[in-house]
Amino acid sequence: MKFNPAPMSRRRALGVAVNVVAALPVIALFSREAYAANNAALRKALQYQDTPKGDAKCANCVQFVPGAAATDKGKCKAIPNDDEISPNGWCAVFAAKPK
């Protein structure tokens, strides 16, 4: 069986383009949620929590990549594609910065 679609009219192509552009915010929202699910799995595997464990916290960990300000959320080299790591967080692979 051979698929031979009819050529798309200019008006139809414009309509498809408008619909695609209109759907972009929805696509971005779902992409972000899927991304967050991945983060959640990694966080769970590493037992991440948003609170410190004693003196151990992300801000004092070699894996932490700080945000714009010291109190802003940052990133973690051990949890790729995650930019919601709290400077006051902690996880099982905490490694203290050298003093």
Residue 59 corresponds to which tokens in the numbers above? 């801000």
- How many residues of this chain bind ligand SF4 (CB under 6 A)? 14
Radius of gyration of the chain (CA): 22
The one segment of 4-12, 14-22, 32-40, 85-93 that binds ligand SF4 by CB under 6 A: 85-93
Distance, in Å, from the CA atom of 57 to the CA atom of 90, rounded to the nearest integer, reads 5
Q: Are 85 and 75 in contact (CB under 8 A)?
A: yes
The one segment of 10-18, 21-29, 34-42, 74-82 that binds ligand SF4 by CB under 6 A: 74-82
Q: Is 39 an interacting residue with respect to ligand SF4 (CB under 6 A)? A: no
Q: Is 73 an interacting residue with respect to ligand SF4 (CB under 6 A)? A: no
What are the phi and psi torsion angles at 41 (to 5°)?
-65, -45
Q: Which residues of the shown chain bind ligand SF4 in the complex (CB under 6 A)?
A: 48, 58, 61, 63-64, 76, 78-79, 85, 89-91, 93-94
